Amino acid sequence: MADSKKVIQILRAIGSKIEEEKDYLTKLDQPIGDSDHGINMARGFGEVEKKLDDLADKDIGTILKTVGMTLVSTVGGASGPLYGSAFLKAGMAAAGKTEMNVQDFLEIMDTAIQAVQQRGKAVLDEKTMLDAMIPSLEAMKAEASEDAKTVLKKGVEAAWKGVEHTKDIIATKGRASYLGERSIGHQDPGATSYSYILEVISQQI
Ligand code: ADP
Ligand code: MG
């Protein structure tokens, strides 16, 4: 499914997509947050981009761990430590691997999403990135015996469906929770950035 070179190519493409959607992600964070999600993510992935050339001959675990450490140290806000731990734990799950198949990918994603849950202490339906992450992972696991493109396509569909669902629910974690019922009607920025990330993986794979 992917070797180290492919993983680096995907990370570059994620950086470009985040940069492209920076203003939109920031705009989503305005009514229910502090208007910085796109700025935070673009800063983090911009720093990641600078390290990718030096990682070309490394294993997938080292690449993902470096991404995690970079995000933790350069992204402020909730999303830095959350995405940072996701990539760090993903790196641990991929330690020593120079190639991953669909099964490895699903295990790595599972570990990454569990890391977000542990770090942020949120569950499904709290209007966070997990509302895209959890249903997309379940959808992908259900297709595990299919090829990577098919698996990812299902995951992306479920992730965007999860994003739509965040509009209907009250935020009970993160900054948006300060708004209580007034958070209804607004789309979660973190669920949106995650869906872009998964979409890029599906396009590049
Ligand atoms: P901050 O809220 O600190 O300004 P960002 O704006 O970069 O950080 O990120 C906000 C996003 O972080 C939210 O849209 C939500 O998806 C996610 N988030 C916030 N708190 C949690 C949490 N406890 N668990 C999972 N995701 C969270
Ligand atoms: Mg914010």
CATH number for position 133: 1.25.40.340
The answer to whether residues 60 and 37 touch, using CB atoms and an 8 Å cutoff, is: no
Ligand 1 pocket, CB under 6 A: 29, 33-34, 36-37, 40, 77-79, 82, 116, 120-122, 128-130, 173-175, 188-191
Q: Each residue of 114-135: pLDDT tens digit?
A: 999 999 999 999 999 999 999 9
- Side-chain-side CA neighbours of 68 within 13 Å: the count stands at 21
Report the number of distinct structural domains present in the chain. 1
CA distance 18 to 39: 9
Q: Report CA(74)–ligand 1 centroid distance (Å).
A: 15
Q: Report CA(93)–ligand 2 centroid distance (Å).
A: 29
Average pLDDT of every residue of the chain: 97
Q: Which of 60-64, 74-78, 96-100, 192-196 has the lowest mean pLDDT?
A: 74-78
Mean pLDDT of 21-28: 98
The predicted pLDDT at position 41 comes to 98
CA distance 17 to 7: 15
* pTM: predicted TM-score of the whole model, two decimal places: 0.98
Note the helical H segments in the chain.
Answer: 4-20, 22-32, 37-51, 60-74, 79-93, 102-120, 130-142, 148-166, 189-204
Q: Each residue of 66-84: pLDDT tens digit?
A: 999 999 999 988 999 999 9
> Residue whose CA is closest, atom 1 of ligand 1?
77
Residue 80's domain comprises 2-204
Mean pLDDT of 58-64: 98
The predicted pLDDT at position 76 comes to 83
Query: Does the pLDDT at position 160 exceed 90?
Result: yes
